Amino acid sequence: MSLKQEKADYILKRLEELYPETPIPLDHKDPYTLLIAVLLSAQCTDVRVNQITPKLFKMADNPKEMVKHSVKEIEDIIRPCGLSPRKSKAIHELSQILLDKHNGQVPESFEDLEELPGVGHKTASVVMAQSFGVPAFPVDTHIHRLAQRWGLTSGKNVEQTEADLKKVFPRDKWNKLHLQIIFYGREHCTARGCDGLQCDLCSSLNFLRKTPVITK
Residues of the chain with pLDDT under 70: 1
Q: In degrees to the nearest 10, what's the CA dihedral of 186, 142, 204, 211?
A: -110
pLDDT tens-digit map of 30-67: 999 999 999 999 999 999 999 999 999 999 999 999 99
Candidate list 7, 87, 122, 164, residue with the active-site label = 122
pLDDT in tens, 7-38: 999 999 999 999 999 999 999 999 999 999 99
- What is the reported pLDDT for 209? 86
Please tell me the predicted confidence (pLDDT) of residue 1.
Answer: 53
Tell me the C-alpha distance between 156 and 215, whole Å: 10
Please pick, among 27, 61, 140, 195, the residue that the annotation labels catalytic.
140
Active site residue 122: yes
Give yes or no: 176 in active site: no
Angle subtended at Cα 35 by Cα 33 and Cα 41, rounded to the nearest 5 degrees = 100
In this structure, what DSSP letter does residue 79 have? G
Dist. CA 185–CA 39, nearest whole Å: 21
d(CA 70, CA 51): 21
- What is the structure's pLDDT at 206? 86
Complete domains list, the chain, with CATH: 3-22+137-205 (1.10.1670.10), 31-132 (1.10.340.30)
Number of neighbouring beta carbons within 10 Å of residue 56: 23
Instruction: Check residue 160 and give its pLDDT.
Output: 95
How far does the chain reach from its first CA to its final CA, in angstroms?
A: 27
Q: State the greatest distance between any 2 C-alpha atoms of the chain, in Å, as a whole number.
A: 60
